[in-house]
Amino acid sequence: MESNGRSLVEKSLIARGISRRDFFKYCALVAGTLALPTSYGLRVAEALEKKSERLPVIWLELQDCAGCSESFTRAAKPSAADVVLDLISLNYHETLMATAGTQAEKLREDTIKVGGYLVIVEGAIPSSEGDIYCTIGGKTAEQILHDTVKNAVAVVSVGSCSSFGGLPKTYPNPTGAKRVMDLVKDKPILNLPGCPVNAVNITATLVHFLTFGKLPAIDDKLHRPLFAYGSLIHNNCPRRGHFNRGKFVREWGDEGHKKGWCLYKMGCKGPVTFSNCPLVKWNDSVSWPIGSGHGCIGCTEPDFWDHPLYLPVKIQEVSPPAFYPAVGVETEKPIDATSVAVTGAIAGAILGAVGAAAVTKNRHSKDGNGQSSGES
């Protein structure tokens, strides 16, 4: 509680003109985004309401375009999601902070001294020619990164540049751009790739951290949280029915495009891209690239800029199969040669019987029609 008896959440709700009901609805929604059971909505709300201190955050912008910062601050109108932002103390963010120069750098250093903060990194880290391609306040990006993470509780890379190198790392990678994971080895790291990152996934990650005191579960190799990157876009795409029926857009503006058919042949990378875009969408869930008629460019996958956007990705089956295998029962018993022979003999006998029955039936049928009874 703060000095006036109101919690941080209460103060935020009043200041933003948001009802408690909307706040609870948001908590249930974010629990769903985090793939938690619906009952966790209440638990999330209670945990956030108990917060009496803001979580200190240092946001670094290195080799970036500030697109992820823009995505993060996208709110068009006050929403319950913004309450989460009132639970963090954004102590350092080059683009958003009011101070500049030595004063700004002092704020970063003071936060590092106290410790217990979260570091958010936007942008890749150059390494060519003595790291000269990105320096701030006389320090290289790599020095700043190492200095900043030393007392942090965890590091979150937002966007594809800090997660995987992004656009700066595109061939031939003239600045020697690296990802955070290449340089930071002794802290928990979570990657939220995307070009830009989806703000929904940043706030959901923050809510998880504020509620449970740790980062959400990630995959081992790419460190992406499973709640946001656990499923292929292709598996949740509303155009998937058209893909399965072989109905593809073949030219921008053609009949199939107007009818909302599958964009695979126009280069859609949905079949190889892991992201929750179809579920959370963009711009307050108004739409998303495939929803507005453009194929997915695969921006949550490593090195996506190196793959021509117009070329279809290689997948095993583009056209739907003519026949689907019958549903069968798996057996744990190993198949041996004897059982194969016996099965073959039984199958042969059954086929023979079926064949004989068919001939007999055919013959009977012909007989029944009063035709000459030649065998078929």
- Site for ligand SF4, rule CB under 6 A: 233-234, 237, 239-240, 243, 262-264, 268, 270-271, 290, 295-296
Q: Which residue is nearest to ligand SF4 (CB)?
A: 270
Least distance (Å) between residue 270 CB and ligand SF4:
2
Contact 55, 210 (CB under 8 A): yes
Distant-in-sequence, close-in-space partners of 145: CB < 8 Å, separation ≥ 6: 60, 62, 121, 125, 180, 183, 184
| Shortest Å distance, C-beta 240 to ligand SF4 | 4
Q: What is the Cα–Cα distance from 110 to 89, expressed in whole angstroms?
A: 13
Q: Provide the CA 92 distance to its chain's centre, in angstroms.
A: 26
- Between 70 and 252, name the residue whose CB sits nearer to ligand SF4: 252
Residue with tokens 């007999």: 360
| Closer residue to ligand SF4 (CB): 179 or 234 | 234
User: Shortest Cβ distance from residue 205 to ligand SF4 (Å)?
Assistant: 24
How big is the chain, counted in residues? 376
Q: How far is the CB of 291 from ligand SF4 (least distance, A)?
A: 10
Cα–Cα distance measured from residue 27 to residue 150, given in angstroms and rounded to the nearest whole number = 32
In whole angstroms, what is the distance from residue 251 CA to residue 266 CA?
Answer: 7
Q: Which is nearer to ligand SF4, 176 or 260 (CB)?
A: 260
The Cα 130–Cα 126 span in angstroms is: 9
Q: Which is nearer to ligand SF4, 27 or 268 (CB)?
A: 268
Q: Which is nearer to ligand SF4, 161 or 263 (CB)?
A: 263
Q: How far apart are CA 140 and CA 158, in angstroms?
A: 20
Query: Closest separation between CB of residue 191 and ligand SF4, Å?
Result: 22
Strand 117-122, strand 88-93: pairing: unpaired
Q: E-assigned strands of the chain?
A: 55-61, 88-93, 117-122, 135-136, 139-140, 152-158, 189-192
Minimum CB distance to ligand SF4 smaller for 92 or for 282: 282
CA distance 124 to 273: 21
Nearer to ligand SF4, 168 or 270 (CB): 270
The least distance separating ligand SF4 from the CB of residue 161, rounded to whole angstroms, comes to: 24
- Residue 30: CB minimum distance to ligand SF4, A: 25
Cα–Cα distances in angstroms (integers) from residue 286 to residues 75, 113, 169, 292, 303, in the given order: 13, 42, 31, 10, 28
For ligand SF4, which is the closer residue by CB, 59 or 261? 261
C-alpha gyration radius of the chain: 29
Question: Rounded to the nearest whole angstrom, what is the least distance from the CB of residue 261 to ligand SF4 in the complex?
Answer: 8
Q: Within 13 Å, how many C-alpha atoms sit on residue 79's CB side? A: 17
